[in-house]
Amino acid sequence: MSFSSAYLQENDIELTQEDYMFYGDSIKLLEGARNNLTEMILQLRKEQIEINHSDPVDHYKSRIKNAKHMQDKLHRYKLPETLEAALYKVYDAIGFRVVCTFMSDIYIVCNWFRNQTNIKVINEKDYIKSPKPSGYRSYHMIIEIVVEQVTVYAEIQIRTLAMDCWASLEHKLKYKHEIRHQEMMVTELKRCADEIASTDLNLEAIKEIILEDMK
C-alpha cells in the first residue's frame, strides 16, 4: 500500500469537466466522504477544547485528486488508468492534511481517529520517527469510510506547522524549477528539515515547561 508525500493543494479547488467525466457518479461518494471527514475533524477539535481546553489542530486542508494527477499516478505505478484502480488501488483520491501546532498534538489526532467507530484505519506510516531520506516528516494514515453502503478510502497527513512549512517550500523548490545542482539541493533541504525538526522538539519542551508551571 503506497503513501503519497506530494504537496496537498488548497481546499475547494473547483473540479473540472474532465474530473467529473473520470470519476462519474463516484464523485458523489468522494464528496460525501470528504464532507464526513471534515465533520469528524470539527468534532475532534470541539471535543479536545472541551476536555483539554486546547485545540490540537491549527488548520486543515482537503482535496479530491484531479483526474490528470490521478492518471499520472496510476501510470507511474503501472496500474490501469481506470476509475476502479483510482478508487481501490492507490487510496488517496481523497486527501486531508491536518496541521498541528505541536508534535504531541499529532499523536492526539492519530489516536482520536483510531478510536472512531465510523471509520477504519487500515494502514499507518510514521515519517516523524522514521523520516524519509529527503528529510520529509509527517504522519500518514489510510482510512476507509462507508458512504451510501460503499467503502471509500482517504489518506490523512498529520504534521506540525514547521513540517508543513518545509514540505511546502520543498515542493516549490524541487518540483517547480530545473535543478542544476541536484546533490547540493538535496543535502541542503535535508539539513533544513533536520533543523526544523530540532525546533519542533524545542517548542514541545517549552510547552511542557509552561504547562508544568501552570499546575
Would you give the DSSP letter of residue 127?
Answer: T
DSSP string, 19-55: HHHHHTTHHHHHHHHHHHHHHHHHHHHHHHHHHHS--
177 pLDDT higher than 90: no
3 pLDDT higher than 50: no
Taking residue 22's Cβ as centre, other Cβ atoms within 10 Å add up to: 21
| Cα–Cα nearest to 65, from 4, 1, 149 | 4
pLDDT value of residue 27:
96
- In the chain, the percentage of residues whose pLDDT exceeds 70 is 91
Residues 22-45 have a mean pLDDT of 96
How far is the C-alpha of 99 from the C-alpha of 157, rounded, in Å? 8
39: cell is 465533520
* H-helix segments, the chain: 17-23, 26-52, 67-76, 83-88, 103-114, 161-175, 182-214
9 pLDDT higher than 80: no
Beta-bridge mates of residue 160:
100
106 alpha carbon, distance to own chain's centre? 11
How far is the C-alpha of 65 from the C-alpha of 19, rounded, in Å? 9
Residues 67-80 have a mean pLDDT of 96
Report pTM.
Answer: 0.88
Contact between residue 97 and residue 8 where contact means Cβ atoms under 8 Å apart: yes
pLDDT value of residue 144:
97
Q: Which class for 87: exposed (0-12), middle (13-18), buried (19 or more C-beta within 10 A)?
A: buried
2 pLDDT higher than 70: no
How far is the C-alpha of 29 from the C-alpha of 148, rounded, in Å? 7
**CA atoms lying within 13 Å on the CB side of residue 59:** 8
Lowest-confidence region among 3-12, 31-40, 115-124, 161-170: 3-12
pLDDT value of residue 15:
87
pLDDT value of residue 125:
97
pLDDT value of residue 23:
97
pLDDT value of residue 100:
97
